[in-house]
């Protein structure tokens, strides 16, 4: 039986898993139980098949992952007892806009502005653009290193490791038990962190030949070209996930090294959460075919269903 393409994300005290038809967020609540929210997932590429084409699908995947990730983070914060309510659609939109603006300032405006300091060395625009890219990469790595030292983030990174191990176990066709999952690596080639690093590296080459206009034009050009950079990076990460070619393996090594910072060895209880999240997005027949013995965990699941007016309603599954 061929395996489904699944991906995931660590959240607060939990893991989000996305399959072709469903997205599930499993969270360990303050009482020690695992709560799961399961929702159908509908990609915009289903309505517009053109967006499935190479270079276009990368931008779509990035935007959809950002939206799903923020929704899952909101749910996990509520279930983990850190927030009273989940974000509304308007609040989520505001959060996404704020995140994009902050990222633009941190990884676009600051590096391209600071690269002007290299004018004392040369006026060559290619060199200045390359130095901007190097500064962007340094800021990115310092940011990852800085947040990795925060206690709460380290725990999220443990769940990140649990997510990777669980997906590896599933892809290997092994029964999803804690013992099996813990035997696998926490470094996965399709990791979102690796994708971001590839974005940083690809942007160095894409922006290198744009000349050196004034600051605002440089910032604008980089923002407008982000879909191109994301599209190229997405195709690279897809190739890395299914190729064993030595050149491809070598190319993704920096992304795997970076996961020494963004993942941590997970506790068994964290692996349990990741397993339950993955099980929730798999077809029942595949779970039964590859299970062996699944976890008899105390789980509370909220699964969404379409109501008559087209909205979603939560259904408790015991």
**What pTM was estimated for this model as a whole?**
0.84
Exposed, middle or buried: residue 229 (CB in 10 Å: 0-12, 13-18, 19+)? Answer: buried
Closest to 190 (Cα-Cα) out of 7, 38, 27, 53 = 7
Tell how strand 14-18 and strand 22-28 pair up. Answer: antiparallel
- In this prediction, residue 59 carries a pLDDT of 87
The answer on pLDDT for 311 being more than 60 is no
Domain count along the chain: 1
Does residue 31 fall inside a structural domain?
yes
Does residue 243 fall inside a structural domain?
yes
Confidence tier at 300 by pLDDT (50, 70, 90): low
Task: Give the tokens for residue 159.
Answer: 């769940």
What is the percentage of the chain residues whose pLDDT exceeds 90?
Answer: 49
Does residue 147 fall inside a structural domain?
yes
Domain span at residue 142? 7-317
Does residue 87 fall inside a structural domain?
yes
- In this prediction, residue 288 carries a pLDDT of 56
- In this prediction, residue 242 carries a pLDDT of 75
Of residues 260 and 193, more confidently modeled: 260
The answer on pLDDT for 111 being more than 90 is yes
The answer on pLDDT for 225 being more than 90 is yes
Does residue 1 fall inside a structural domain?
no
Of the CA atoms within 13 Å of residue 318, those in its CB half-sphere come to 0
Give tens-digit pLDDT for 6-30: 889 999 999 999 988 899 999 999 9
Does residue 2 fall inside a structural domain?
no
C-alpha of 278 from chain center = 15
- In this prediction, residue 295 carries a pLDDT of 41
% helix / strand / coil in the chain, to the nearest 5? 60, 10, 25
What is the distance between the alpha carbons of residues 264 and 154, in angstroms, rounded to a whole number?
Answer: 7
- In this prediction, residue 298 carries a pLDDT of 46
- In this prediction, residue 275 carries a pLDDT of 96
Of residues 142 and 239, more confidently modeled: 142
Q: What is the dihedral of CA 17, 19, 24, 25, to 10 degrees?
A: 20
Please state the φ and ψ torsions of residue 18, each to the nearest 5 degrees.
-125, 125
The answer on pLDDT for 297 being more than 50 is no
The answer on pLDDT for 206 being more than 70 is yes
Average pLDDT across the chain, whole number: 85
Confidence tier at 207 by pLDDT (50, 70, 90): very high
The answer on pLDDT for 131 being more than 90 is yes
């Amino acid at each position: 039986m061929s395996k489904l393409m699944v991906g995931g994300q660590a959240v607060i005290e939990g893991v989000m898993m996305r399959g072709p038809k469903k997205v599930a967020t499993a969270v360990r609540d303050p009482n020690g139980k695992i709560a799961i929210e399961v929702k159908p997932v509908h990609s915009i590429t289903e309505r517009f098949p053109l967006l499935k084409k190479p270079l276009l699908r990368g931008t779509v995947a990035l935007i959809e992952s950002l939206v799903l990730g923020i929704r899952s983070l909101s749910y996990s914060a509520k279930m983990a007892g850190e927030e009273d309510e989940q974000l509304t659609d308007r609040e989520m939109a505001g959060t996404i806009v704020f995140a994009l603006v902050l990222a633009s300032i941190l990884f676009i405006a600051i590096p391209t502005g600071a690269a002007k300091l290299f004018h004392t060395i040369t006026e060559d625009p290619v060199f200045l653009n390359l130095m901007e890219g190097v500064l962007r990469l340094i800021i990115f790595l310092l940011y990852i290193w800085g947040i990795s030292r925060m206690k709460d983030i380290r725990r999220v990174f443990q769940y990140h490791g649990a997510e990777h191990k669980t997906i590896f176990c599933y892809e290997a066709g092994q029964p999803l038990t804690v013992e099996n999952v813990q035997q696998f690596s926490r470094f996965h080639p399709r990791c979102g962190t690796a994708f971001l690093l590839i974005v940083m590296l690809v942007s160095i080459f894409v922006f290198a030949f744009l000349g050196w206009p004034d600051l605002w034009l440089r910032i604008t050009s980089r923002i407008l070209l982000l879909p191109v950079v994301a599209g190229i990076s997405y195709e690279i990460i897809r190739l890395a996930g299914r190729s064993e070619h030595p050149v491809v393996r070598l190319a993704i090594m920096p992304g795997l090294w970076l996961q020494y910072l963004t993942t941590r060895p997970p506790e068994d209880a964290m692996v349990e959460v990741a397993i339950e999240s993955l099980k929730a997005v798999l077809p029942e027949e595949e779970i039964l075919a590859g299970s062996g013995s699944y976890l008899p965990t105390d789980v509370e699941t909220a699964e969404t269903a379409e109501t008559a007016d087209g909205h979603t309603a939560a259904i408790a599954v015991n």
